[in-house]
Amino acid sequence: MITTRTKDGIATITLSDCRLLTRSDVQEGRALADALQTAGDDDGVRAIVLLAQGRDFCPPVRPVRSQQASLPDIQSAYAGVTGVYQSLAYGRKVVVMGIQGRCTGAGSALALCADFVVMGSSARIQSPFSSVPEASFTLAALIMRLNRAKGWILSDEPMSALQAEAAGLANRVVPEGRLRREALGMARSAARMPLDGIAISRVMLETYLDSQGVGKEFDHAPFYRNALPQAGLPVEGRVSAKQSQPARGRK
């Protein structure tokens, strides 16, 4: 479930279970994309805080295969122009994400798209690339620099909050108890810019991101979704019904 609360020009969007997003749940994806678009369209909102309930922002989840979701549905909810990841990366308002505990899968993919990330001091963030086809390598490389992004992805070692800060993935690290307040403080700071200024800054950012191939990479997500099962990485929704190996646990 996704809830939005707006107060003093800041919309706080809270995920009740981020694992649904890792599983490419269509309803949940649409709900988050809608919440982001709605806040983006609302002149009364100047910045967005994105949080998740529970001890972990997004714990690991074993992908399950469901026959219900069709690829086009998943596509439009997640990778399309109004899907989750593009709505976040190309959103009209600044988004500050607060991450506690373990962050994997969709949680990490969201963290690459958000503008700012605050991490709780014991939080750990793991590469989303084995489970989320929309995870953006171009954004990872622009945020962390090329070799750090590669190392994070290929070694599959989770980064601690402090490592994430040193790598440029996290802007700030605070004790878990102060996570929400810190994220809210950053959002308030961003909200002081005139609304027209925010609009023009977003255009500048979008122009830049597009020039770096960020949009194109989202366009490629369906190919990656198809390739995942062949790589032995089960994921929901793909074009052909060709069966591959059953889901296997990770060591």
Residue 16 or 208 with smaller CB distance to other proteins: 208
104: left (phi over 0), alpha (psi -120 to 50) or beta: beta
Check residue 216 for interaction with other proteins (CB under 8 A): yes
Applying CB under 8 A, which part among 60-68, 77-85, 175-183, 193-201 lies near other proteins? 193-201
Footprint on residues 100-129 left by other proteins (CB under 8 A): 115-117, 129
Q: Using the rule CB under 8 A, is 246 a contact of other proteins?
A: no
Q: Nearest approach, Cβ of 202 to other proteins (angstroms)?
A: 9
For residue 109, the minimal CB distance to other proteins (Å) is 13
- What CA–CA distance (Å, rounded) separates 242 from 194? 53
Q: Which is nearer to other proteins, 54 or 224 (CB)?
A: 224
33 or 142, CB closer to other proteins? 142
Site for other proteins (CB under 8 A): how many residues? 64
How many angstroms from the chain centroid is the CA of residue 168? 16
User: In the window 23-52, what residues touch other proteins (CB under 8 A)?
Assistant: none
Closest CA to 91 of 37, 140, 42: 37
Q: Rounded to an integer, what distance in angstroms lies between the CA atom of residue 7 and that of residue 245? A: 48
Site pattern 136..175 for other proteins (x: CB under 8 A): xxxxxxxxxxxxx-xx-xxxx----------xxxxx----
* 51-80: contacts with other proteins (CB under 8 A): none
Q: Which residues bind other proteins (CB under 8 A)?
A: 94, 115-117, 129-130, 136-148, 150-151, 153-156, 167-171, 186, 189-190, 192-201, 203-205, 207-208, 211-214, 216-217, 220, 224, 227-228, 230-233, 248, 251
